[in-house]
Structure 1
Amino acid sequence: MSALPDRRLLLVHAHPDDETINNGVTMARYVAEGAHVTLVTCTLGEEGEVLVPELAHLASDQTDGLGQHRIGELAAAMKELGVTDHRFLGEPGRYRDTGMVYDPEGNAAVPPQTRPDSFWQADLLLTADDLIKVIREIRPQVLVAYDEFGGYGHPDHVQAHRVAMYAAALAAVPSYREDLGPAWDIAKIYWNAMGETGLRDSLRKLRESGDTTTFEGMDPDGPLPRFVTPDRFITCVIEGESFVDQKMSAMKAHATQITLDGPFFALSNNNGNEVWGNEEYVLAKGTASPGPDGREHDLFAGL
Structure 2
Amino acid sequence: MRPRPPAGRRSLSQAIAERIAALPPLRDEIAAAGLRADKALGQNFLLDLNLLDRIVRSIGLQPGDRVFEVGPGPGGLTRALLKTGAQVIAVERDARALPILQRLAAASDGALTLIHGDAMAVNARELAGEGAHIAANLPYNIGTPLLTGWLTQTPWPGWWRSATLMFQKEVADRIVAAPGTGAYGRLSVLAQHRAQVAIETILPARAFTPPPKVDSAVVRLVPKPAPEDVPVALLERVTAAAFGQRRKMLRQSLKGLPGGLEALAALGIDSTRRAETLSVNEFVALARVLHSSPADS
Relative to its length, the structure with more helix (as a share) is 2
TM-score normalised by length of structure 1: 0.30
State the TM-score, normalized to the length of structure 2: 0.30
Structure ranking higher on relative contact order (CA contacts 8 Å, 6+ apart): 1
